Amino acid sequence: MTLTAGTKLGPYEVVAPAGSGGMGEVYRAHDSRLNREVAIKVLPEAFSRDPDRLRRFQQEAQAVAALNHPNILAIHDFGEHQGSPYIVMELLEGETLRQRLLSGAMPTRKATDYATQIGVGLAAAHDKGIVHRDLKPENIFITRDGRVKILDFGLAKVTHPEPVAPDAATLASQTEPGVVMGTVGYMSPEQVRGQVTDHRSDLFSFGAILYEMLSGKRSFHGETSVEIMNAILKEDPPELTEIGRTIPTALGRIVGHCLEKNPAERFQSARDLSFALRAVPDSSNSSIVSVKTSRNAVLAMGAHRGGVGAAWYRHWPIAHATFR
């Protein structure tokens, strides 16, 4: 079902198509009640008859609606139009991080700023017991004023339902061991193995994203999905020294600590990660470093506390297991 300009979904009037993706069509629309522009994602009618897709769509709405945070895409409403559910979201203007990375590596200061905002947003989600499980540049949006927004919680896992909704336990992804969920290149080792994941899996994905922001290259490479997954399990990314840029030593340690294969050896919370990022000195006073650093080096810098618009809508990410 394709909606044309002027189509009304309750108080919302479609203005124009804004993109499409694996979980539905996205439209720019006008909210007549509050006189504002919004984005509406409509789940196709055929998908609405698929219990798994419908559950994920409802899960995304409920999970994100519980996350009232400036670094997470806001959900305004949820409804149904001619048998097709839809989500009403804030309309973003700017570009995805993937689009920004098409021009290459980012300035260190800018990468650190964006990474800190991502970390703060993740901390808010994790505090609600929500694990994203599909963090990647396509799911990070940079607004025109430099605000970072985390998108697409279609694969989110609710680890404790109380803060989200009384029935969230039935909407959470009940992934059985052995099922691979995520996007190749940004999955954690435990995701690749199909093991049960927690918030530390998001921190590994975060490390892969930060590496890419600093180097302009993906952290794990291969000709096929299998080769990339094998690299995630067994290899370390090429050293940041190879890019020939001055990277703060502390920032290199943070990347290495996030990309530890063993979850127990990573940061244990996004809050600790954000704290470490805020403590990173200006690059003019630091030297080029290697991504792979010892856990003890990170402990020594005091980061391991407590125990160890519309451009985005044109590239709306597929909200299920993707291998690309």
Residues taking part in catalysis:
134
- Give Dmax over CA atoms of the chain in angstroms: 60
Q: Is 300 left (phi over 0), alpha (psi -120 to 50) or beta?
A: alpha
Helices (H), 235-318: 249-258, 270-278, 295-300, 310-314
Count how many residues are written for the chain.
324
**Cβ-proximal residues to 73 (8 Å cutoff; 6+ apart), any chain:** 64, 89, 90, 92, 141, 149, 150, 151
Which pair of structure tokens corresponds to residue 6? 């002027």
CA dihedral over 142, 237, 229, 119, signed as positive or negative: negative
| Beta-carbon count within 10 A of 51 CB | 8
